[in-house]
A and B are shown apart, each in its own frame.
Chain A
């Protein structure tokens, strides 16, 4: 059914946008392997190392899954970095080394994420504030409250909880499995649920969606709740890995911009309505490969930051340059 030829000008035309993320992924894999062979460091070509590369971007991956929802409904979330910081701090402070507090801490953090997402969604839909400004403002508020109470690593995560970050099944860390399971759930929701198809309709054309009887505001709010929940989970993971939370860890990782960048590299359109989770995961893997390429090539930390900024813009340009519509 889906292969039915549409009355396009040239149905055989190679659809670049559809395959771009795969091409980029293969290109970065090829670059990585070529670099390793040139440098003569074939010891990096192992399954263990592949897992290690993937495990490096679990925080980014989980955040980007949520960001995909926000961008698909033609919104955006710039508050994820401060949500990550806040939830990491709350996780480690509530647990404070006590294994019995693991469950309450996780629930508290998830509640925090849900409330932030709900507020973001309400401000965007009911007060009609531009999503960039709404989430930037939210980010400032969270960061301000957080650094009012904490200015250093606070609390600590019990050993039992560090299993989330450090435990492995064979050679594969639990957290990596968790990320892919989460991605699978997100894919399932987007592909098969009513909410998933609403997300695409609202992102594609909000007015048409409303006229078709979709409660667009509710869809946008839910997408933002999912986005903030994912960021909160990413914060929990980060607390488990760092064994404690600090108010700057989200901003330090530039998770707001990077999560947007990997979503876009994965082929999700910033204007909303087109894209998907697996593209985002491809984007995450591309980013971790680039990171590994830098490490293998021994690039200086500051140069790495410079190149990273350029790569993010170039990646977005790679998709956007062909678009005809004006951009803000």
Chain B
């Protein structure tokens, strides 16, 4: 009888299953949107929402690789801009050009990621400075390439990924290609982060670089790969965003911070060691849902920046508070 409290402590109903608060947040936000705007509950409503969020979601999941490895990648927005501008300049309205332009852009992205990674790993430049410098450089390159004003437009074959919907699908009636891209790339990024050795090494490097090195992790190679993944997803996000929104010179600006914000909302730990791809994608959904709500409330564009800044600081402060309370 003296151990009466023991069975209670081990009973399976003792505690709710641990669930990342971000999923609750997304559901709550989406319910709020549906209440304010019932049309959102229709397939066209939520499918368009998903279509809008795809670029950011893929981008954030890629940026998470760098965050988990213990760095920041602020060059992703400018890579998106470069992708869109470069593609429109190269395409010169030729629909058959898409087949070589996208691989070429991915190649450029890989080189940019490689440079970021090499500069951070071997020249020991803090990733924030290295990628900010890359951002300035790439924005300059995009301007140079377009001569200040982008000419031409993206052919429909290129815009297919961001704009096209498959209609007459049973139950959901329409299915944007972008949503398929989100599922496919989200799954690939989830697999890479959570089901491979590379993902485990990524976590190890971000958690404690010295320990990882002593345990035999090729730290430099892992960090460089993280930057390459991030840059490649930025190119993909650029292709999708360009397809949806068309060509403009500042199309990618601001996305780098939105990606970090999404990862932070998803519970990723800045400076490395913790992060989840599905939670980050949910973070991107939450951020976009907040922006949608602000729109519905009739608040102007600049309010987004304020809200984003508050979320960024708030989420990091909350995470620190929780870690401290957990005694870690």
Contact residues of A with B, CB < 8 Å? 123, 127-130, 132-134, 136-141, 143-148, 254, 257, 260-261, 264, 270, 300, 302-306, 308-310, 312-313, 316-317, 320-323, 326-328
Q: Could you say which residues of chain B place their CB within 8 Å of the CB of A308? A: 136-137, 140
Q: Could you say which residues of chain A place their CB within 8 Å of the CB of B141? A: 302, 306
Main DSSP-derived SS at the A contact region: helix
B276, CB-defined interface residue at 8 Å: no
Q: How far is the CB of B124 from chain A (nearest CB, A)?
A: 4
Contact status A129-B320, CB under 8 Å: yes
Give the nearest-CB partner of A260 in chain B.
B129
| Known contacts A127-B317, A309-B133; is-contact A140 B308 (Cβ 8 Å) | yes
Contact status A313-B129, CB under 8 Å: yes
Give the nearest-CB partner of A123 in chain B.
B313
Contact status B257-A136, CB under 8 Å: yes
Contact status B129-A257, CB under 8 Å: yes
| Known contacts A137-B312, A141-B305; is-contact A316 B144 (Cβ 8 Å) | no
Contact status A138-B129, CB under 8 Å: no
Q: Could you say which residues of chain A place their CB within 8 Å of the CB of B312? A: 133, 136-137, 140
Q: How far is the CB of A244 from chain B (nearest CB, A)?
A: 20
Contact status A317-B123, CB under 8 Å: yes
Contact status A309-B136, CB under 8 Å: yes
Contact status B313-A137, CB under 8 Å: yes
Give the residue of B134, B321, B324 whose beta carbon is less than 8 angstroms from that of A309: B134
Q: Could you say which residues of chain A place their CB within 8 Å of the CB of B87? A: none
A309 to B130, CA, bound (A): 9
Contact status B124-A128, CB under 8 Å: no
A306 to B133, CA, bound (A): 9
Would you give the 0/1 interface string for B233-270, flagging 1 where the beta carbon is closer than 8 Å to chain A?
Answer: 00000000000000000000000010010001000001
B120, CB-defined interface residue at 8 Å: yes
Give the nearest-CB partner of A264 in chain B.
B129
A130 to B272, CA, bound (A): 12
A-B contact pairs, 28 of them (CB 8 A): A123-B317, A127-B317, A129-B317, A133-B312, A137-B308, A140-B306, A140-B308, A141-B309, A141-B310, A144-B306, A144-B307, A144-B309, A145-B306, A254-B136, A261-B129, A302-B143, A302-B148, A305-B143, A306-B140, A306-B144, A309-B138, A312-B132, A313-B119, A313-B130, A320-B125, A326-B209, A327-B126, A328-B72
Q: How far is the CB of A256 from chain B (nearest CB, A)?
A: 8
A267 to B127, CA, bound (A): 19
B128, CB-defined interface residue at 8 Å: yes
Contact status B124-A317, CB under 8 Å: yes
Give the nearest-CB partner of B271 in chain A.
A328
Q: How far is the CB of B307 from chain A (nearest CB, A)?
A: 8
Contact status B309-A305, CB under 8 Å: no
B139, CB-defined interface residue at 8 Å: yes
Contact residues of B with A, CB < 8 Å? 70-72, 119-120, 122-130, 132-141, 143-144, 148, 209-210, 257, 260, 264, 270-272, 300-310, 312-313, 316-317, 320-321, 324
Give the nearest-CB partner of A317 in chain B.
B123
Q: How far is the CB of A69 from chain B (nearest CB, A)?
A: 18
Give the residue of A148, A261, A321 whose beta carbon is less than 8 angstroms from that of B124: A321
Contact status B134-A317, CB under 8 Å: no
Q: Could you say which residues of chain A place their CB within 8 Å of the CB of B119? A: 313, 317
Other contacts beyond A257-B132, A306-B140, A323-B124: 10, CB < 8 A: A123-B317, A138-B309, A144-B305, A145-B302, A302-B140, A305-B137, A313-B119, A313-B133, A327-B124, A328-B271
Q: Could you say which residues of chain A place their CB within 8 Å of the CB of B126? A: 270, 316, 320, 327-328
Closest 10 A-B residue pairs measured CB to CB?
A144-B305, A140-B309, A309-B137, A305-B140, A309-B136, A144-B306, A313-B133, A306-B140, A317-B123, A141-B309
A28 to B306, CA, bound (A): 41
Q: Could you say which residues of chain B place their CB within 8 Å of the CB of A304? A: 140
Contact status B136-A320, CB under 8 Å: no
Give the nearest-CB partner of A79 in chain B.
B309
Q: How far is the CB of B277 from chain A (nearest CB, A)?
A: 21
Give the residue of A144, A309, A322 whose beta carbon is less than 8 angstroms from that of B135: A309
Q: Could you say which residues of chain B place their CB within 8 Å of the CB of A141? A: 305-306, 309-310
Q: Could you say which residues of chain B place their CB within 8 Å of the CB of A134? A: 313, 316
Give the residue of B71, B302, B316 whose beta carbon is less than 8 angstroms from that of A147: B302
Contact status A317-B270, CB under 8 Å: no
Contact status A312-B136, CB under 8 Å: yes
Q: Could you say which residues of chain B place their CB within 8 Å of the CB of A129? A: 313, 316-317, 320
Give the residue of A132, A148, A257, A264 whose beta carbon is less than 8 angstroms from that of B300: A148
Q: Could you say which residues of chain B place their CB within 8 Å of the CB of A138? A: 309, 313
Q: Could you say which residues of chain A place their CB within 8 Å of the CB of B257? A: 136, 140
A51 to B124, CA, bound (A): 36
Contact status A320-B309, CB under 8 Å: no
Q: How far is the CB of B4 from chain A (nearest CB, A)?
A: 41
A317 to B304, CA, bound (A): 35
Q: How far is the CB of B295 from chain A (nearest CB, A)?
A: 15
Q: Could you say which residues of chain B place their CB within 8 Å of the CB of A321? A: 122-124
Contact status A137-B148, CB under 8 Å: no
Contact status B313-A148, CB under 8 Å: no
A136 to B141, CA, bound (A): 25
Q: How far is the CB of A270 from chain B (nearest CB, A)?
A: 6
Q: Could you say which residues of chain B place their CB within 8 Å of the CB of A312? A: 129, 132-133, 136
Give the residue of B123, B136, B304 whose beta carbon is less than 8 angstroms from that of A305: B136
| Known contacts A134-B313, A303-B140, A305-B139; is-contact A313 B134 (Cβ 8 Å) | yes
Give the residue of B71, B130, B270 whose beta carbon is less than 8 angstroms from that of A130: B270
